[in-house]
Structure 1
């Protein structure tokens, strides 16, 4: 067993021993007390009836002649021994016929029950337990006939058979308690094993995941806390596996993105060194452009990494987002004109101000416009709009960039802001897309406390939105 098994077993054993032991002890004491109370009530009634019968006998016969037979009949099946003396202490009756004719002092009999008839002392009654001997004490303190003798010592006499019955009852209680304890212990061990088993499964799966088996999962057999723990473990494992797959794809994408410009640079330089290409402006420009691509890629990766880790430094100031949008629209209009694309702007007055980093907000808008220009065909249209909008009950400004390009398939839409994700890989690379622009938009917007989302109809175009909270005035 594991150490946790020992702890559970020890706690369970201690609990069972304490509960069963205390319960059995309490039951034993209660049974003994109730049994003794029952015996006392019976003995009290017996003493009262014997006393009354002897009083009647004495009143009828004016003495104790031939009373011994009556005394034996009165004892009946009751345990112990009855001894009767007259008022002077002379024993006149003995159910064992041993002490008749002797004085009570000779056998140390004392505190007998006084039998009084019309104020005259007629004698004393002694009830001696079955364990008593000739020197045993008598019982009862001078009680008048018919007097309540519940406190009389004679009432506490327990016969040998009664004591045996009480002992048997006590043994039965302890035996029942022991059997109940064993049953509880067995059931507890069964329940403990059901707790330990899923924990062991979790431990084995955790070691396998630590060893690189990220596909490892545990079976969920219940809906209790252990089941919730197993589900949480499976979610964690799924997240680790997904992140590992994303990491591997990211490394592959980064390697590919770096390899493409490096291959062009290396090939051009080799051609110049081998005399295949001349070291003219055309080939040097190619090297410069690919170097710029590498620089941009490394810068974008650095920005994303800083944003994701929360270490991106933002120069937050209160600003008018409309000025940024107008500036970016003016710069994009040159490229749009070259591609015969109409760029329309809808910037209303009285817009709320936002608090943000002007450089990063310019970067967000520029990336969205660049993305729209790449995916809008010649003769198409791009719309740039702003408006005040409540988002999740918070006031802010929504910026929308809409194009009427090829649109995004529904299966690709949830991943459009992932790093290096491209709907059309070959086309994006041929047009200069690195697959990081939209990922940067998402990270930068969220770093400002905002949100981004995309809407698209395949074949009709797409709309990219980002929302920023309004400044507190």
Structure 2
């Protein structure tokens, strides 16, 4: 099997299961051995207690150990009466086949009385034979582990249990291998789907999506992959639209310039002031388009130069309105202002002037005459809010989020006929975001479009004046 994550996961799960199975087998074996020794010890103690009581009774009856002297049958009789011999050791008449070879009787001083003789230093368990509270003798028995070795029935039982334990361990390992293989394949199904989808995504198939399964790490990874594919598809579409729009934007002034120059070369048009003014206008249009594109490319690269410092936004807005007042009047538009004094903001004055100029230029270009354009600036909910609203025409709600895309312009009412490169609002968004603010588009209560910009306050003084802008909204 080739090296793969499936094999690695299979081996990891299998190795874990084998270790667990072996550990359980050893634990069961140790528990059985310990319990079996305790069982033998407890059984031997019960037999020794019974034998000690029988011998104590004979000792009292005869006044000593003399009844055992030279009479092996009395030792056998005591064994039978005490039930020391196990039921399996008895014949059909109930008598043991012979004296058990493992228990020895010695007197209080350790002198041998009956049973097999014990060599000096041999390990034995001592069990007292008590008469009137004193030990008159001792029963010596091998420890449980030696009794189990010398007992054929116990050996067979131990052997069967040992075989059963390792058979169970072996079957557990086989089952673990099967389960590990199934788990490895099952767990890696979504990973394989993601790998295949990633290869297709790398090949340019941005429409590929993967199924989101359980809400775990793999499910979150699948959702992130789908978002990435959606973003790449959107960027590819925007790139195609950008190239198409750019070619159109550049073609129009270039075509005009070419026509004008050819007319001058062919003598169809005199090189007078009007012709030169037309050429200068188209050249200026190209220059603005190139400048706007450069601004956006620098913004994308994070290379735009911003020199932040505290400034008076109210005064900055007033100057921007004064600069376009005459142009609005010539276009038949009434310019209204509602500016709260003392609005402080930390920002780049030159970039903010560019922001205001783009917003006012957008309303000037796309508002029908006669009409109204209203600019309001004030504090609300701990933020500085600036809003430029105009009269008809408006923008469809589904097109509002795209107004800040590059070269995007609403067709029909706010179309290319009004001029402009379609980059002004994209530049506005870049400037606002660089100042930590937010910009959004919404329908205007005047019947047209409203562009709203919000910034955090430069200090805490704006929270107390929050009601001022809210009151203006209610007017």
State the match for 2:147 in structure 1: 157
The aligned counterpart of 1:241 is 233
RMSD: 3.5
Which residue of structure 2 aligns with residue 126 of structure 1?
A: 116
Q: 5 Å matches for 1:267-416?
A: 267-349=259-341, 351-390=342-381, 394-395=382-383, 397-416=384-403
Number of equivalences: 439
Using the TM superposition, name which of 178-187 and 71-80 deviates more.
71-80
> Which structure dedicates a bigger proportion of its chain to helix?
2
Q: Is the 8 A contact 2:355 2:431 kept in 1?
A: yes
Q: Deviations over 1:6-36 (max 9, x none)?
A: 3222222221222111111111011012112
Which region of structure 1 is more displaced relative to structure 2, 69-78 or 285-294?
A: 69-78
1:113 to 105, 108, 125: 105
Which is further off, 247-256 or 148-157?
A: 148-157
Contact map agreement 1:346 1:385 (CA 8 A) in 2: yes
TM-score with structure 2 setting the length: 0.81
- Deviation of the 1:292 alpha carbon: 0.8
Question: How do 1:1-150 residues align onto structure 2 when only pairs under 5 Å count?
Answer: 2-54=3-55, 56=57, 63-64=67-68, 65=71, 66-67=73-74, 70=77, 73=80, 76-77=85-86, 95-96=97-98, 112-114=104-106, 123-126=113-116, 144-146=128-130
- String of CA shifts for 1:393-434, please: whole Å, max 9, x gaps: x44x32222211211111111212221121226853222221
Match of 1:251 among 238, 243, 268: 243
Which contiguous aligned blocks of 4+ residues in structure 1 show a shift greater than 6 angstroms? 119-122, 135-139, 147-151
Which deviates more from structure 2 when the two are superposed, residues 46-55 or residues 324-333? 46-55
- Give 1:258 shift: 1.0
Corresponding position of 2:405: 418
Alignment match, 2:464:
none
How far 1:305 sits from its partner (Å)? 2.0
Q: Whole-Å Cα distance in 1 between the matches of residues 140 and 199 of structure 2?
A: 75
1:127 is displaced (CA, Å) by: 9.1
Q: 1:124/1:115 Cα in 2 relative to 1: closer, same or farther (>3 Å)?
A: farther
Asked if 1:467 is matched to 2:460, the reply is no
On the 8 A contact 2:104/2:139 being kept in 1, the answer is no
The 3-state SS of whatever aligns with 2:352 is helix
> Aligned pair in 2 of structure 1 residues 298, 385: CA closer, same or farther (>3 Å)?
same
1:104 alignment counterpart:
none
Gapped regions of structure 2 (runs ≥ 5): 91-95, 461-475
Query: Could you list the runs of 5+ residues in structure 1 that have no partner in the other structure?
Result: 82-93, 99-108, 129-134
Q: Is the 8 A contact 1:115 1:143 kept in 2?
A: no
The SS at the match of 1:419 is coil
Q: Within 2, Cα distance between the matches of 1:415 and 1:46?
A: 97
Matches within 5 A, 1:175-214: 175-214=167-206
User: In the aligned structure 1, how far is the partner of 2:442 from the partner of 2:195?
Assistant: 44
Structure 1 residue aligned with 2:421, among 428, 431, 434? 434
1:253 Cα deviation after fit: 1.2
1:40–1:150 CA contact under 8 A, matched in 2: no
